[in-house]
Structure 1
Amino acid sequence: MATIYISIGSNIEPHKYVKAALSELTYHLGEIRCSSVYESEAVGFDGSNFLNMVVAAETDKPIEQVVSLFKEIEQLHGRQRGAKKFSPRTIDLDLLLYDHTVTDVPVVLPRAEITYNAFVLWPLAELAPDTVHPVTQKNYQQMWAEFDKSSQHLWPIEFDWPNQ
């Protein structure tokens, strides 16, 4: 079994779609562990604020199947394929880590956003503070402590979901 970390983000009816993503991930992967939910300003475009979080799960599925599952969940919940990279979205599921795998195929792992997006790093540091990034060789708590927090604004929010 591999430990995977998944980033969840939404800025279209975000409470609805983050809850839907959590339910889908629980259904397909079993027990998940959740970070807090954070609200952040849109990065890269003018748009509504996002809700973001990171969840951890165990899986025996290979990376290709995990990524395919995430695309299916996104499409099921109205994610438009082919939309601009920086645009509003119902749900965005990104595989951040698959154990300590470093690869470029079928996706880049660890996901580069870990090192430069506060809305990924802060919840990951909360959920897995002592886990070491396989490239930087720093743990996520240390990476968050060193992060320039003035570069992006986000804040934890109350979020009602059964496993929160």
Structure 2
Amino acid sequence: MTRVFVALGANLADPVGQLERAVAALSQLPGTLLVACSRFYRSAPMGPADQPDYVNGVAELATHLAPHALLDALQAIELSQGRERKAERWGPRTLDLDILLYGQWVLDDERLTLPHYGMKQRAFVLVPLSELAADLVLPDGSALADWVADCDRRDLHALSLPLHR
């Protein structure tokens, strides 16, 4: 099985509930084990400021699914929870599930970039990821702890205890 980290985000239609339902759905994926989930955090939105704050977290999975099969499964969960894909980037959404890391894979194609292209610049990803894997070394050889130490956490507020450990 491959160790995978998935970012969770929502800012519409009961964001905490959306993330809790997403975690439950992740635990039901075929060939996949939900290992742990970080606590949830509230953060200011990226992009347009005229939208509600986001709730974010990170889930750790162990999976036999290939990267694109996992992506398809995550997008099906998003759709089942009311996600509407729009051209606008960083707009409001009921649920956003992004593969951050798929083992030590490096991949860049029209559907998927691994590691996730923006993860190193986002406190709402780095901090919950570090809860699950503080000693993680990224595929480029950099230490997650170094990225976490340098990130701006001013707009990040913990909302809950971890759901699963």
What TM-score, normalized by structure 1, do the two folds share? 0.91
- CA distance in structure 1 between the partners assigned to 2:78 and 2:125 by the alignment: 18
Deviation at 1:145, TM superposition (A): 0.8
Deviation at 1:141, TM superposition (A): 1.5
Deviation at 1:134, TM superposition (A): 1.0
How do 1:123-142 residues align onto structure 2 when only pairs under 5 Å count?
Answer: 123-135=128-140, 137-142=141-146
Give 2:5's aligned residue: 5
Does 2:117 align with 1:108? Answer: no
Give 1:71's aligned residue: 75
Give 2:20's aligned residue: 19
How do 1:123-162 residues align onto structure 2 when only pairs under 5 Å count?
Answer: 123-135=128-140, 137-149=141-153, 153-158=155-160, 161=163
CA contact (8 A) 1:126 1:141 kept: no
SS in 1 for 2:28: helix
Deviations along 1:96-146, whole A, 9 cap, x unmatched?
0000001103411000221111111111122111110112x2221221012
Give 2:47's aligned residue: 44
- CA distance in structure 2 between the partners assigned to 1:104 and 1:160 by the alignment: 31
Aligned Cα root-mean-square deviation (Å)? 1.6
Give 1:32's aligned residue: 35
Is the deviation greater in 25-34 or in 40-49? Answer: 25-34
Q: Indicate the percent of aligned positions where both proteins have the same amino acid.
A: 30
Does 2:97 align with 1:96? Answer: no
- CA distance in structure 2 between the partners assigned to 1:34 and 1:22 by the alignment: 8
Question: Which structure 2 residue ranges, 5 or more long, are not aligned?
Answer: none
Q: After the TM superposition, list the runs of 4 or more consecutive aligned residues in structure 1 that deviate by more than 4 angstroms.
A: none
CA contact (8 A) 1:113 1:120 kept: no
SS in 2 for 1:56: strand
SS in 1 for 2:136: coil
- CA distance in structure 2 between the partners assigned to 1:76 and 1:59 by the alignment: 21
Deviation at 1:31, TM superposition (A): 2.8
- CA distance in structure 2 between the partners assigned to 1:35 and 1:160 by the alignment: 5
